[in-house]
Chains A and B, each alone.
Chain A
Amino acid sequence: MSLSRRHLLRATGGLGVPLFLRQALAAPPTLPPRLCILMQANGTHQPTFWPSSPTGSSPILEPILGDASLRAKTIVVKGILNNQMGFGNEHDRGWNSLWTGVAPVGTPEDGFGGAASVDQMIKQALRPAVPFPSLNCGVLAADIGPKNGHRTSFSYAGPHRQIPTQTDPYRLYAALFSVVPEASDSADATIRARQRLRLKRSLLDVVAADLKALEGRLGATERAKLDLHTQALREYEQRLGASLEAGAINGTCPRTTMPAGLDPRREDDVPGLLDAMIDLVGLALACNLTRIVTFPIGHSGNNWRYRWLGIDKDNHEELAHRDTPDGSTPEIARHMTSISNWAAKAVARLCRSLDGAPDGAGTALDNSLVVWANENGTGYHTMRELPVVLLGRAGGQLKARGLVYYDDQSHRRLGTTVLNLMGVEATGLGLEPRCGTLVGVE
């Protein structure tokens, strides 16, 4: 792969307009649907999650199903079973196997993803020509941090190769808007910026030459490490010129005002952090700064106390593990319900913002697939009937709405469905290469 300046110009047709901007300005169907996978942890309260009928709502899902326009674009999928065995417990496998389809690797205490996750598979297959081909960001602020790093991200470039989660909304904001032009830039400033850009590209040419020289000395295993590096460089290079090359993106990407004073490590800031992150992701997806997002709402097996909901109990140890489906622990059931309901509100907030953004003949949500899932089915570590909701119409491919009910479908069919909806043809995922897709959602 050549990374020279000349190559880049050729790739962009020599017009000086980066490819992703030209595509963004062209008709939307040239791009696959947008994808956003949000993962919640510690299961849910099953009796208040599932709608009582195919067209009904539920206490937890009310923020989504109670909104008529969202409801028309929502499928609640009941019956996904994560059957992965191997390292770690259900927090680890629910987190690291759901989207890789294979057992974790490492040691029982450090079970990392054992293969690329679907988001990274899609990115590798499609290489979406947008400034951020994929984004892994979310909220992990916690009084009690995860004991191990493998619980902080479910996005993997390959076995063990975890993509770190960006949890600082200010840094995410700075990164996203670094590619959006300032309306107030003077002609002088623009000239200086162009000079800086030219130098930066020359610098990247030098780095790329170093990469190429090093690559030539490696066998296949080690070259895979540098392939990731080279690709990251290319993505960075594509972003560089974006803020200078076209004004059109500005119209659909207004600089939002960020709330001040949020600490990405402070648990009591979680509500503010979540809103800020969700809004940034909604914006970034709507105006094609990115097309693929993975988003942990808390780390795997987190111990949030949900003081902001008036709960103040360790949701993992004191609630999830002690929840029962039979009504014998009503206070815990009430708390578990309000926790999942709170997450549903965040998902609804994201989808409403996508639904408010015009995109082609419809809205950005119509051309998106938003998946909200959970590492566990219940709080007490079962992996049957994982709470899964598909929102958006994936460019018109999703037709069903309301509750779709299956009898124990492998979780790999969910991943396979996501791959195919995103335009990556797949017959299966991970350990089940022929598991097929979920029937009845399209």
Chain B
Amino acid sequence: MPRDWVAAPGGGLPDRACAPATPRRLRRLSLPEYSAAVRDLVGRPVPAVQDLLPDAQVNGFANHAETLVIASGRFDELALVAEQAAAQVDVEALAACRAAEPRDACATRFILALGRRAFGRPLDDAEAARLRRLHDEAVEVGGPTAGLRLVLESLLGSPHFLYRTELGGDAGGALSSHEVARQLAFALTGGPPDPELASAADRDELRERAAVRRQVLRLAQTPTARAHVAGFLRAWLGLGDVRSIYKVQLYAVAGFSEATKAALDGELDLLLDYALSPGGGTWSALVGQAVAFASKRTAHLYAGTLEAPATEATFSGDAPVRLATRPELRRGILAMPVWLAAHSPVHRTSPVERGLAVRSRFFCQSLPQPPPTVSSAVVDATSAGQTVRDRFEAHSRDPACRGCHALIDPIGFGFENMDTIGRLRSEDGGVPVNASGALVGTDVDGPFTGPAELAERLVRSRQARDCFVVELFRFIEGRDETPADACELRPLQDYFADEQRKVVDLLVELVSRGSAGRRRPEP
């Protein structure tokens, strides 16, 4: 990959000597992190990982440190994965005993090497001795291979594998080099440290900010980091599970089959990767580019919005291709059918859903849910000649609804030229659509029509960029921001306000910020 996926290595933001706001803590691996760590340790994916029940989401991210625990039920699941992984993996290949090597020596080497990778640090003597005893007991019962298997199973079940510690050793609250290594690796790549980072930790280099910076810049260049950032973007956009978007054929929503959804899912990967690619990767590339990836299965969703209408000749086979969209109709991720469909109910558009998503995810403003006396019947009572917009406009008339919906619905109205699966439309229920919307309570207030004009505003909104910094912070830190974080969030927001900055640069600065390697005492 070309080096310029990361634009501005430089020396990074100056350390503002902010007091660390993150407490000493344990972070249980999130399910994607766990999956990556298991795969890394055993050298292959373990199918049972796919069956784990999902973790709770907070702010759309399923990695909140307070939420992730190993209580009833979860322990059994993890024990089962460990057992299955140990049974399925070729542990002899993993141990790679040398021809002349005594079996005993090989077992010791296996325990120390695998243990180091599992825990992200060398085993202490007591840990090594316990594993050795366990190994020997299993050898007695089931032979040499059984010994290796039980060691692997035990490592996969150990809290030192399942949690990342952020505890530090000294009174100043500085994390150990090994803790820093795991923190960097999971933050940047979603998985455990690679050999180079692990060696740097073994040499205890990661207590120096400059050394951390070098590692961060190196890791940020990897394809894994790019995929990890794309995963964050998906969660932030509410597009983590495209295949679960549901539309009801009953309401004449045709053209949204399982195959269409599968294609949209793959095309979203391509779009995000393109938006993050060298030459792009900026805020405006993400929210303002007039580019789509479409294929035979999804071309109908883009009808009327492409620079050159798609024909038979546009596609070869089922492969997606990159196409230019008409910038006055589709620009940026919010104008893509996949986002528009994911933020609509099963049978019609919802100005509330689309408006609320923009307000909460792009402006970091949360609004309370409807009061008890309110019925959504007001928007679902259909009568001939009424558009969705007509019905939702009842909100702005009803004093009980007005307070909140005046902030939500006008944004959503601006999307009304896109139907429940994201096709351009000119009519709704036989009546011409009116896609004039408005932003209020933001730094880019004013009227707009259609998601493309909204995109223009988002591109220049400082508030939306600031919010994006907060969203990335929540995801990386696995916690909510607190007032104490402002000391470091503000400079990061100033940094990202520069049009040239890339999303990955922001990640680099966030991960290597001054207090990242220190913790405050537990509350």
Q: Is B44 an interface residue (CB 8 A)?
A: no
Other-chain contact of A222, B24, B70, B241 (Cβ < 8 Å) = B24
Asked if A88 and B369 sit within 8 Å, CB to CB, the answer is yes
Q: Is B102 an interface residue (CB 8 A)?
A: no
Q: Is A300 an interface residue (CB 8 A)?
A: no
Asked if B56 and A160 sit within 8 Å, CB to CB, the answer is yes
Q: State in angstroms the CA–CA spacing of A109 and B154 once bound together.
A: 39
- Tell me whether A160 and B66 are in contact in the complex, defined as CB-CB below 8 angstroms, given that A89-B369, A214-B165 are known contacts: yes
Other-chain contact of A157, B72, B158, B373, B375 (Cβ < 8 Å) = B72
Asked if A136 and B127 sit within 8 Å, CB to CB, the answer is no
Asked if A210 and B375 sit within 8 Å, CB to CB, the answer is no
Report B453-479 residues with CB < 8 Å from chain A CB.
none
Q: State in angstroms the CA–CA spacing of A88 and B360 once bound together.
A: 14
**Nearest CB on B from A345, distance (A):** 27
Q: Is B59 an interface residue (CB 8 A)?
A: yes
Q: Is A424 an interface residue (CB 8 A)?
A: no
Report A205-227 residues with CB < 8 Å from chain B CB.
205-207, 209-211, 213-214, 217-222, 225-226
Which of A9-17, A229-237, A334-342 touches B? A229-237
**Nearest CB on B from A388, distance (A):** 19
Asked if B372 and A382 sit within 8 Å, CB to CB, the answer is yes
Question: Cβ of B142: which chain A residues have Cβ within 8 Å of it?
Answer: 195, 199
- Tell me whether A228 and B76 are in contact in the complex, defined as CB-CB below 8 angstroms, given that A144-B246, A221-B522, A221-B523 are known contacts: no
Asked if A149 and B69 sit within 8 Å, CB to CB, the answer is no
Question: Cβ of B133: which chain A residues have Cβ within 8 Å of it?
Answer: 202
**Nearest CB on B from A189, distance (A):** 15
Q: Is B137 an interface residue (CB 8 A)?
A: yes
Q: Is B64 an interface residue (CB 8 A)?
A: yes
- Tell me whether A232 and B70 are in contact in the complex, defined as CB-CB below 8 angstroms, given that A214-B165, A221-B522, A317-B380 are known contacts: yes
Q: Is B429 an interface residue (CB 8 A)?
A: no
Q: Is B73 an interface residue (CB 8 A)?
A: yes
A309-336 vs B, Cβ < 8 Å mask (1 yes, 0 no): 0001010011001100000000000000
Question: Cβ of B131: which chain A residues have Cβ within 8 Å of it?
Answer: 206
Q: Is B100 an interface residue (CB 8 A)?
A: no
Q: Is A139 an interface residue (CB 8 A)?
A: no
Q: Is A353 an interface residue (CB 8 A)?
A: no
- Tell me whether A233 and B246 are in contact in the complex, defined as CB-CB below 8 angstroms, given that A108-B366, A149-B56, A221-B522 are known contacts: no
Question: Cβ of B159: which chain A residues have Cβ within 8 Å of it?
Answer: 207, 210-211, 214, 226, 229
**Nearest CB on A from B344, distance (A):** 12
Question: Cβ of A123: which chain B residues have Cβ within 8 Å of it?
Answer: 72
Nearest chain B residue, comparing its CB with the CB of A380? B375
- Among B51, B167, B375, chain A packs the most CB atoms within 10 A around the CB of B375
Q: State in angstroms the CA–CA spacing of A318 and B159 once bound together.
A: 47
Asked if B74 and A166 sit within 8 Å, CB to CB, the answer is no
- Tell me whether A203 and B154 are in contact in the complex, defined as CB-CB below 8 angstroms, given that A145-B244, A160-B58, A381-B374 are known contacts: yes
Nearest chain B residue, comparing its CB with the CB of A204? B157
Q: Is B141 an interface residue (CB 8 A)?
A: yes
A147-184 vs B, Cβ < 8 Å mask (1 yes, 0 no): 01110000001011111111000010001000000000
Q: Is A106 an interface residue (CB 8 A)?
A: yes
Question: Cβ of A171: which chain B residues have Cβ within 8 Å of it?
Answer: 51
**Nearest CB on B from A203, distance (A):** 5
**Nearest CB on A from B514, distance (A):** 24
Q: State in angstroms the CA–CA spacing of A122 and B108 once bound together.
A: 45
Compute the total of residue contacts between A and B using a CB distance below 8 Å. 186
Q: State in angstroms the CA–CA spacing of A317 and B353 once bound together.
A: 14
- Tell me whether A149 and B372 are in contact in the complex, defined as CB-CB below 8 angstroms, given that A134-B72, A163-B72 are known contacts: no
Asked if B137 and A199 sit within 8 Å, CB to CB, the answer is yes
Question: Cβ of A385: which chain B residues have Cβ within 8 Å of it?
Answer: none
Q: State in angstroms the CA–CA spacing of A205 and B79 once bound together.
A: 14
Q: State in angstroms the CA–CA spacing of A205 and B157 once bound together.
A: 11
Q: B interface, how many residues as a size bin? A: 35 or more
Asked if B376 and A108 sit within 8 Å, CB to CB, the answer is no
**Nearest CB on A from B508, distance (A):** 28
Asked if B79 and A236 sit within 8 Å, CB to CB, the answer is yes
Other-chain contact of B380, A134, A318, A381 (Cβ < 8 Å) = A318
Q: Is A107 an interface residue (CB 8 A)?
A: yes
Q: Is B486 an interface residue (CB 8 A)?
A: no
Nearest chain A residue, comparing its CB with the CB of B347? A314
Q: Is A289 an interface residue (CB 8 A)?
A: no
Q: Is A92 an interface residue (CB 8 A)?
A: yes
Asked if A383 and B71 sit within 8 Å, CB to CB, the answer is no
Question: Cβ of B72: which chain A residues have Cβ within 8 Å of it?
Answer: 123, 133-134, 136, 157, 163, 228, 231-232, 235
Q: State in angstroms the CA–CA spacing of A164 and B55 once bound together.
A: 7
- Tell me whether A209 and B130 are in contact in the complex, defined as CB-CB below 8 angstroms, given that A160-B67, A203-B154 are known contacts: yes
Question: Cβ of B360: which chain A residues have Cβ within 8 Å of it?
Answer: 109
Q: State in angstroms the CA–CA spacing of A221 and B66 once bound together.
A: 10
**Nearest CB on A from B58, distance (A):** 5
Asked if A322 and B157 sit within 8 Å, CB to CB, the answer is no
Asked if A144 and B346 sit within 8 Å, CB to CB, the answer is yes
Q: Is B402 an interface residue (CB 8 A)?
A: no
**Nearest CB on B from A89, distance (A):** 4
Question: Cβ of B59: which chain A residues have Cβ within 8 Å of it?
Answer: 107, 109-110
Q: Is B326 an interface residue (CB 8 A)?
A: no
Nearest chain B residue, comparing its CB with the CB of A314? B346
Question: Cβ of A110: which chain B residues have Cβ within 8 Å of it?
Answer: 56-60
Q: Is B46 an interface residue (CB 8 A)?
A: no
Asked if A219 and B521 sit within 8 Å, CB to CB, the answer is yes
Question: Cβ of B153: which chain A residues have Cβ within 8 Å of it?
Answer: 203
Report B343-397 residues with CB < 8 Å from chain A CB.
345-346, 360, 366-370, 372-377, 380
Q: Is A143 an interface residue (CB 8 A)?
A: yes
Q: State in angstroms the CA–CA spacing of A211 and B157 once bound together.
A: 10
Report B96-145 residues with CB < 8 Å from chain A CB.
126-127, 130-131, 133-134, 137-138, 141-142
Q: State in angstroms the CA–CA spacing of A19 and B67 once bound together.
A: 32
Asked if A322 and B71 sit within 8 Å, CB to CB, the answer is no
Asked if A222 and B71 sit within 8 Å, CB to CB, the answer is no
Q: Is B184 an interface residue (CB 8 A)?
A: no
- Tell me whether A136 and B70 are in contact in the complex, defined as CB-CB below 8 angstroms, given that A160-B64, A210-B127 are known contacts: no
Q: State in angstroms the CA–CA spacing of A221 and B367 once bound together.
A: 30
Q: State in angstroms the CA–CA spacing of A157 and B56 once bound together.
A: 13
Q: State in angstroms the CA–CA spacing of A207 and B67 once bound together.
A: 22
Other-chain contact of B160, A89, A175, A210, A221 (Cβ < 8 Å) = A210
Question: Cβ of A195: which chain B residues have Cβ within 8 Å of it?
Answer: 141-142
Q: Is A279 an interface residue (CB 8 A)?
A: no
Question: Cβ of A92: which chain B residues have Cβ within 8 Å of it?
Answer: 369
Asked if A214 and B160 sit within 8 Å, CB to CB, the answer is yes
Report A105-149 residues with CB < 8 Å from chain B CB.
106-110, 112, 123, 133-134, 136, 143-145, 148-149
Nearest chain B residue, comparing its CB with the CB of A219? B522
**Nearest CB on A from B473, distance (A):** 15
Show the binding face of B for A, using Cβ within 8 Å. 23-26, 28, 51, 53-60, 62, 64, 66-67, 69-76, 79, 126-127, 130-131, 133-134, 137-138, 141-142, 150, 153-154, 157-160, 163, 165, 167, 241, 244, 246, 250, 345-346, 360, 366-370, 372-377, 380, 521-523
7 closest A-B pairs by CB: A232-B75, A89-B369, A219-B522, A164-B53, A149-B56, A228-B71, A229-B70
15 residue pairs of the A-B complex, CB under 8 angstroms, read: A88-B369, A89-B372, A110-B60, A161-B67, A166-B53, A205-B130, A206-B131, A221-B523, A229-B75, A232-B72, A232-B74, A236-B76, A236-B79, A317-B376, A322-B375
Known: A160-B58, A164-B74. 15 other contacts (CB 8 A): A87-B368, A109-B59, A149-B54, A150-B57, A157-B71, A161-B66, A164-B55, A202-B134, A214-B159, A217-B165, A219-B24, A219-B521, A225-B69, A314-B346, A317-B380
